[in-house]
Structure 1
Amino acid sequence: MDAGQMFSLVGKRVMITGASRGIGRGLAHGLARAGGDLVLVARDKKTLAQVEDECREIRADIDVSSYSCNIREPEQVRQTVAESTKNGKRIDVLVNNAGLNIRTPALEVTEEQWQTILDTDLRGAFFFAQEVGRQMVANQSGSIINVSSVGGHVALRTGVAYAAAKAGVIQMTKVLALEWGRDKVRVNCIAPWYFRTPLTEKLLDDPAYLGEIVARTPLRRVGEVAELVGPTVFLASDASSYVTGHTLFVDGGMSIYGF
């Protein structure tokens, strides 16, 4: 198998959660270019339809569908996976990307904020992995890519609930890789630093804040969403066939020393 084939997603059906904007939207575009067929998941059906159209413009022969789902509702997660795998269809790759943050000092975090973040970033990610994982285990094949954060590894001013959830995603990845490896299901994790998305643009538009971020990043810049595509394609493709339980930091080197 040559290098081009190793990194190809042709013939693979990829589910992406949080696909309507930001990192998820960028990954949808990138994985479409890599040859993957797509199942797009997010709450906003209208925006999902736009991403579907964008993916068809990228590749005319793509098989792409979308499903509205609130990741915080396990029953909706079960229904989404069931609907998207009817008539013998399967999910070959799950990109567990959906997440959110509510930036609040620890002394001001409310029970509602804590629960919202944990239910989305950790609980929701687990139940998506579990539902898709059932089918992957039965098929004896599959790759799950969880999206964590540098904030799950080093202490940042991202908020304690977000940090706890993203640290949980990293450890969840290891345990699932251990349990499902015997069934030929690989589970890995990507941990980004600051990337330009609609969720970060206000922060990064502040010159002082941006300067502080850049000063703590060895590559001296923030990332562009397109730079997450390569790592995701690697973990989704046969190029990483002997990689599981790993967290890949896509952070310009920031996690070398942290804040």
Structure 2
Amino acid sequence: MFEKGEGLKQEKLFSRRCATIIKVNFDLNGKVAIVTGAGRGIGRTIAEGLAQSGADVILTARTEAEVIRAADEINQATGRPTLGITCDVTNKQSIDSVVHQVLDKFGKIDILVNNAGTNVRQTAFELSEEEWDFLVDTNVKSVFLMSQAVGKHMVERQTGRIVNIASAASELTLTFSSAYGPSKAAVVHLTRQLANEWAKFGVTVNAISPWFIRTSLNAKALDDPEFRSLIEQRTPMGRFGRLEEMIAPVLFFCSEGSGYITGQNLFVDGGVTHFGV
């Protein structure tokens, strides 16, 4: 047992240690991050969140004007160095070019957020082979190719954080899209596979699986009153997610505070994957 004064002293020391741990573990100053599909929506929001936390951020997307504008706006809002680069994340040469440019300008890559993705709202009998290939290439192949290219650099440096944006549909079936869920389930399993392979090199790989968050990709569907009501009724929190609610989970997996966590899939879903009767 401590004397009264000694106990108070120990509590203050513990409080200071906790404050130091929190400050160091969640500070991204000096980190260099790549975010794919960052021209708008979830990717752009994540990119701004990383910049607000001190990271230098490289945004990639297919549309040049969009990604450059997003990078400029984030730079103006945060004061952090940003770079917007066009990239076809389904093409290895395009990816290698991005990685080369980033390493040439920034010297390293600490964080990769694989956010680029798409959806084709077709059932199994409606979905064409071309649509299947397009969706799987965009949602799965891109994650593998980007992780492969950036992962080599991270393994060499013996440190790195990779975060893959999957979906609650990796766990649930959707009556209106037969390929999206399986593609995101593949992302989750790929996350575990890469986490297992690269853990010994100090590289963590985790996934985040959101439910419906309004973006340009799903705006038309969510504007339909019947569909919107269905989603709200099925979600225990009774609402869609908000773009900003993706920031904290990503920051956690990108930070030193998650250093002993890898191969995990965090649901940001308003409780829908635990929905019962």
Scaled by the length of structure 1, the TM-score of the pair is 0.96
Misfit runs of 4+, over 4 Å: none
Instruction: State the secondary structure of the residue aligned to 1:243.
Output: coil
Match of 2:229 in 1: 211
Instruction: State the secondary structure of the residue aligned to 1:107.
Output: coil
1:127 aligns with 2:122: no
The one of 169, 176, 184 aligned to 1:151: 169
Task: Give the aligned residue type for 1:157.
Answer: T
Q: Contact 1:17–1:41 (CA<8 Å) still a contact in 2?
A: yes
Match of 1:136 in 2: 154
Q: Contact 2:213–2:242 (CA<8 Å) still a contact in 1?
A: yes
Match of 1:89 in 2: 107
Task: Give the aligned residue type for 1:145.
Answer: V
Q: Contact 2:29–2:54 (CA<8 Å) still a contact in 1?
A: yes
Task: Give the aligned residue type for 1:17.
Answer: T
1:43 aligns with 2:62: yes
Q: Contact 1:52–1:64 (CA<8 Å) still a contact in 2?
A: yes
The one of 138, 163, 183 aligned to 2:181: 163
Task: Give the aligned residue type for 1:67.
Answer: I
Q: Contact 2:207–2:266 (CA<8 Å) still a contact in 1?
A: yes
1:7 aligns with 2:26: yes
Q: Which has the higher contact order (CA 8 A, sep 6+)?
A: 1
Distance (whole Å) between structure 2 residues aligned to residue 88 and residue 53 of structure 1:
17
1:13-92 to 2 correspondence within 5 Å?
A: 13-60=32-79, 62-86=80-104, 89-92=107-110
Instruction: State the secondary structure of the residue aligned to 1:189.
Output: strand
Q: 1:258–1:112: structure 2 CA closer, same or farther, 3 Å change rule?
A: farther
- Deviation larger for 76-85 or 247-256: 76-85
Measured after TM superposition, the shift of residue 158 of structure 1 is 4.9
1:182-201 to 2 correspondence within 5 Å?
A: 182-201=200-219
1:234-253 to 2 correspondence within 5 Å?
A: 234-253=252-271
Q: Contact 1:151–1:158 (CA<8 Å) still a contact in 2?
A: no
Q: Number of aligned pairs?
A: 258
Counting aligned pairs with the same residue, the percent is 38
Measured after TM superposition, the shift of residue 250 of structure 1 is 0.4
Task: Give the aligned residue type for 1:9.
Answer: L
Structure 1: 5+ residue stretches without partners: none
Distance (whole Å) between structure 2 residues aligned to residue 107 and residue 86 of structure 1:
47
Q: Contact 2:35–2:115 (CA<8 Å) still a contact in 1?
A: yes
Q: Contact 1:81–1:132 (CA<8 Å) still a contact in 2?
A: yes
Match of 2:12 in 1: none
Distance (whole Å) between structure 2 residues aligned to residue 35 and residue 104 of structure 1:
41
Match of 2:124 in 1: 106
Rg (Cα) greater in structure: 2
Q: 1:257–1:128: structure 2 CA closer, same or farther, 3 Å change rule?
A: same
Q: Contact 1:29–1:54 (CA<8 Å) still a contact in 2?
A: no
Distance (whole Å) between structure 2 residues aligned to residue 168 and residue 44 of structure 1:
26
Instruction: State the secondary structure of the residue aligned to 1:191.
Output: strand
Measured after TM superposition, the shift of residue 153 of structure 1 is 1.3
1:232 aligns with 2:250: yes
Measured after TM superposition, the shift of residue 43 of structure 1 is 0.7
Q: Contact 2:68–2:85 (CA<8 Å) still a contact in 1?
A: no
Measured after TM superposition, the shift of residue 2 of structure 1 is 3.0
Task: Give the aligned residue type for 1:130.
Answer: Q
Scaled by the length of structure 2, the TM-score of the pair is 0.90
Distance (whole Å) between structure 2 residues aligned to residue 88 and residue 59 of structure 1:
18
